[in-house]
Amino acid sequence: MSILVNQQQFHLTNGKISYIFHVLKNGQLGHLYFGKALRERDYRHFQRTNNPTPASCHTYEDDAAFSLETIQQEYPVYGKGDFREPAFMVSGEKPIANFVYKSYEVVKGKPRLKDLPATYATSGEAETLFVVLEDSYQQVELELSYTIFENEAVIARNARLINKTDVEISIDRMMSLSVDLPHADMEMVHLSGTWARERHVKTRKLEQGIQSISSIRGASSHHHNPFLALKTPDATEHTGEVLGFQFVYSGNFLAQAEVDHYDVTRVQMGIHPLGFQWKLRSGESFQTPEALMVYSDQGMNGMSQTFHRLYRHQLIREQWKYKERPILINNWEATYFDFNEEKLLHFAKEAKELGVELFVLDDGWFGKRNNDRSSLGDWTVDLEKLPDGIASLAKKVKSTGLQFGLWFEPEMISPDSHLFREHPEWAIGIPGEHVTLGRNQRVLDYTRAEVVDYIFDRMKAIIEATNLDYIKWDMNRNITEAYSAGLEHQGEFFHRYILGVYDLYERLTSEFPNVLFESCAGGGGRFDPALLYYAPQTWASDDTDAVERLKIQYGTSMAYPIYSMGSHVSAVPNHQTLRETPLSMRADVAYFGTFGYELDPSSLSDEEKEIVKAQIKRYQSLRHLVRDGEFIRLQSPFESNETAWMIVSTDQKEAIVGWYKASSTPNPRTNQSVKLRGLDSDYGYQVDGDTYYGDELMQHGLPLPIEFNGANGEQAERGGDFQSKVFYLKAE
Ligand code: GLA
């Protein structure tokens, strides 16, 4: 890994990728290249453009060949002859900025971002380049930061603005990343959906104009994930060039690809400028969140595996990155709000007998919360349901040998709560004006330090009293009427809110490093890399239907390691779809994530209990692969009725393959198999008593059990709707 600086050309390379830019003749930065590694040399000829045509004649001084309208830029500004969307906008006396190169610095490792979650690296794992630019109109300084990692095809970027003037300025737009790519012959892949169908894979061809995904909900959202990829049209899951972009942030975001009239594609990612305005006083600085860029020449899978490794090794907190996550059972769908101590202890005892490791008590244990109309904010136990208190329940659950976890929704307040009656000003909204409710609740004002302090104290007291092992941190509504009476500038609201959330996470995870956090937002409404930094697993979706989960988990795996996806077996008929899938398929899907159950163990028949015991043992024996192995997508549920994926251990000696068929088809193919990947061609792998070599499994495929065809009842090993099988492969 090295950062080569030569005559104002900056070249970050690690043998896998090169990222190159330079100082233009007007002092601004010009982008030269991002892609597969190139040798060291001068690449300024990459910037050469035709003389602009008369309609684009906004040239620099008297050089007809130099127009910002046609130059690939690094951090474009508004108003200097480039008519594409800028990375930065300022307002005030001089609403135009002109950032001119001033200096650079290279440091080993990766300095932490103040108050923001980000990837991290030791001095041997990464190098960081800081480029400082100065606004020629007023004394503000822009510091662009680029980190290259030793082993991964990733560049991490962020920007910081320092106000060296003696007046206040307003930042109206400040992207974390902007990059101009030389062509537009690409497709944009993104993950979109809504509640119960999060992160479905969507692909569209780039066209002149802006194609964007975004959130202005105060959360990264169910609807669009802060991720996008650009792939060449011929790139597949396993071949071809793909660029992946991901924003390490949990609030309002904008991610867009703008194709201009010369087919240059400008990609930007950052805090959504809508409603954003940050007042920067003299001497202050503003730090953007981090954005990541990945290059893959091995298709979408190559990009995903890079994100997976990066998050596993350089994002998830030290304490949890290599630790096995407990198999949990959650009582939500089993009881909803209707439980008491006796019922819970019976539930826990039965779960323990099945082999479960962690019991999670979900919503309804605090205040007077018998439905979703009250008590958020009152984090004291409901003594009517749990007369001996929460500490006593925790002790009794733990005495069965289970770990104990609790649900919190720390950012919310019910209008019907003691907290609201005492502190109505702690709820977001314009005082005295109508406020829109979401799930009957309002949002706490996390821009106020005293609110974060208060919730921290309440949670700390409960964590200590219960000796808590796990927290499910939920967030069940988005933010409307974004207004804090405690804030001077409302344009800062959304970002300050998220900084408050990160502050609480930071304090809790620092004080209680052994507590496992799982983030959640009405299912998967805030699945983003920033929260993975604190909470190494995220509840992927409230939709636990096995068929739907194939799509959700497949889509989520585009950007996130599967060990970060909470995936549970739930009861049938499924509570979200009313579909009845077999217990075997529900587990076969859930194995490819952090495994658990979301059902009442006493509703299981004796036979089902035996099946569940075996499933738990199976996951325990496979868990190391889910945590450490390379996940490979084989067949997409978005393209056909069949889905397949696999995990291969890093030494290629072990693998698991998940294969699924959602609905039956008449008179199916006779010779069915699934082609595997990532194995060692020369290893002989044992599968269900047979041995196959790696090459035959990858070239011809792993044979699937014989399928029912209407006439082979005796011979058929599978048939009907909802077929699935998980194969375990072990090299001899
Ligand atoms: C959200 C979560 C669920 C459950 C409920 C409790 O919907 O996604 O898993 O915790 O809240 O109210």
CATH of the domain at 460: 3.20.20.70
Our answer to whether residue 382 is catalytic in this structure is no
Our answer on whether the CB atom of 538 is closer than 6 Å to any ligand 1 atom is: no
Looking at ligand 1, which atom is closest to the CA of residue 542?
A: 8
Q: How many domains does the chain have?
A: 3
Query: Which stretches of the chain drop beneath a pLDDT of 50?
Result: none
Looking at ligand 1, which atom is closest to the CA of residue 520?
A: 8
Which domain does 123 fall in, by range? 2-315
62 is a domain residue: yes
Question: Which of the listed residues 520, 543, 576, 598 should we mutate to test ligand 1's pocket, taking the one with most ligand atoms within 8 A of CB?
Answer: 520
User: Are 311 and 329 in the same domain?
Assistant: no
Q: What is the pLDDT of residue 173?
A: 98
Strand-pair category, 265-271 with 197-205: unpaired
* Residues 85 and 266 sit within 8 Å (Cβ to Cβ): yes
Looking at ligand 1, which atom is closest to the CA of residue 472?
A: 10
HSE-CB for 141 with a 13 A CA cutoff: 14
Q: What is the pLDDT of residue 92?
A: 79
Q: Looking at residue 695, which CATH number applies to its domain? A: 2.60.40.1180
- Ligand 1 centroid vs 522 CA: distance in angstroms? 6
628 is a domain residue: no
How far apart are the C-alpha atoms of 410 and 502, rounded to whole Å? 12
How far apart are the C-alpha atoms of 396 and 394, rounded to whole Å? 5
Distances (CA, A) of 539 to 194, 220, 254: 14, 14, 23
56 is a domain residue: yes
How far apart are the C-alpha atoms of 387 and 367, rounded to whole Å? 13
Sequence-distant (≥ 6) Cβ neighbours of residue 301 within 8 angstroms? 237, 238, 632, 633
Q: What is the pLDDT of residue 62?
A: 74
The token duo for 253 is 């975001």
The one-letter code for the residue type at 204 is R
Number of Cβ within a 10 Å radius of residue 436: 11
Q: What is the pTM of this model?
A: 0.98
User: Are 100 and 16 in the same domain?
Assistant: yes
How far apart are the C-alpha atoms of 719 and 710, rounded to whole Å? 10
The token duo for 643 is 């889905």
Our answer on whether the CB atom of 520 is closer than 6 Å to any ligand 1 atom is: yes
- Ligand 1 centroid vs 413 CA: distance in angstroms? 15
Our answer on whether the CB atom of 407 is closer than 6 Å to any ligand 1 atom is: yes
Q: What angle do CA 190, 192, 198 make, to 5 degrees?
A: 130
Partner residues linked to 202 by β-bridges: 190
End position of a domain, from candidates 315, 349, 375? 315
Q: What is the pLDDT of residue 474?
A: 98
* Residue 539 DSSP SS3: strand
Our answer on whether the CB atom of 476 is closer than 6 Å to any ligand 1 atom is: yes
Q: Residue 25: exposed, middle, or buried by beta-carbon count in 10 A (0-12, 13-18, 19+)?
A: exposed
Our answer on whether the CB atom of 524 is closer than 6 Å to any ligand 1 atom is: no
Q: Looking at residue 203, which CATH number applies to its domain? A: 2.70.98.60
User: Are 614 and 654 in the same domain?
Assistant: no
End position of a domain, from candidates 282, 315, 348? 315
Our answer on whether the CB atom of 394 is closer than 6 Å to any ligand 1 atom is: no
How far apart are the C-alpha atoms of 230 and 205, rounded to whole Å? 9
Q: What is the pLDDT of residue 654?
A: 98
99-127 tens-digit pLDDT: 999 999 999 999 999 999 999 999 999 99
Our answer on whether the CB atom of 566 is closer than 6 Å to any ligand 1 atom is: no
Our answer on whether the CB atom of 198 is closer than 6 Å to any ligand 1 atom is: no
Q: Residue 407: exposed, middle, or buried by beta-carbon count in 10 A (0-12, 13-18, 19+)?
A: buried
- Ligand 1 centroid vs 288 CA: distance in angstroms? 31
User: Are 618 and 649 in the same domain?
Assistant: no
- Ligand 1 centroid vs 214 CA: distance in angstroms? 24
629 is a domain residue: no
Our answer to whether residue 542 is catalytic in this structure is yes
Residue of the CA atom closest to atom 7 of ligand 1: 522
379 is a domain residue: yes
Q: What is the pLDDT of residue 726?
A: 98
633 is a domain residue: no
How far apart are the C-alpha atoms of 189 and 183, rounded to whole Å? 16
Catalytic residue among 382, 474, 545, 588: 474
In the block, residue with structure tokens 């990733």: 154
User: Are 658 and 573 in the same domain?
Assistant: no
26 is a domain residue: yes
Sequence-distant (≥ 6) Cβ neighbours of residue 158 within 8 angstroms? 113, 118, 145, 176, 287, 288, 289, 290, 291
- Ligand 1 centroid vs 407 CA: distance in angstroms? 9
User: Are 298 and 366 in the same domain?
Assistant: no
User: Are 30 and 57 in the same domain?
Assistant: yes
User: Are 355 and 495 in the same domain?
Assistant: yes
* Residues 399 and 393 sit within 8 Å (Cβ to Cβ): no
Sequence-distant (≥ 6) Cβ neighbours of residue 79 within 8 angstroms? 95, 96, 97
Which of 362, 312, 722 lies closest to 539, judged by CA?
A: 362
User: Are 331 and 308 in the same domain?
Assistant: no
User: Are 548 and 464 in the same domain?
Assistant: yes
- Ligand 1 centroid vs 474 CA: distance in angstroms? 7
Our answer on whether the CB atom of 364 is closer than 6 Å to any ligand 1 atom is: no
Catalytic residue among 542, 543, 545, 600: 542
User: Are 367 and 277 in the same domain?
Assistant: no
End position of a domain, from candidates 315, 340, 360? 315
How does DSSP assign 75-132, residue by residue? S-BTTSS--SPPSEEEESSS----EEEEEEEEEES-PPPTTS------TTTEEEEEEE
Our answer on whether the CB atom of 408 is closer than 6 Å to any ligand 1 atom is: no
273 is a domain residue: yes
Sequence-distant (≥ 6) Cβ neighbours of residue 397 within 8 angstroms? 344, 345, 348, 359, 404
Partner residues linked to 126 by β-bridges: 149
Our answer on whether the CB atom of 595 is closer than 6 Å to any ligand 1 atom is: no
- Ligand 1 centroid vs 192 CA: distance in angstroms? 20
How does DSSP assign 677-702, residue by residue? -S--TT-EEEETTEEEEHHHHHHT-E
User: Are 222 and 178 in the same domain?
Assistant: yes
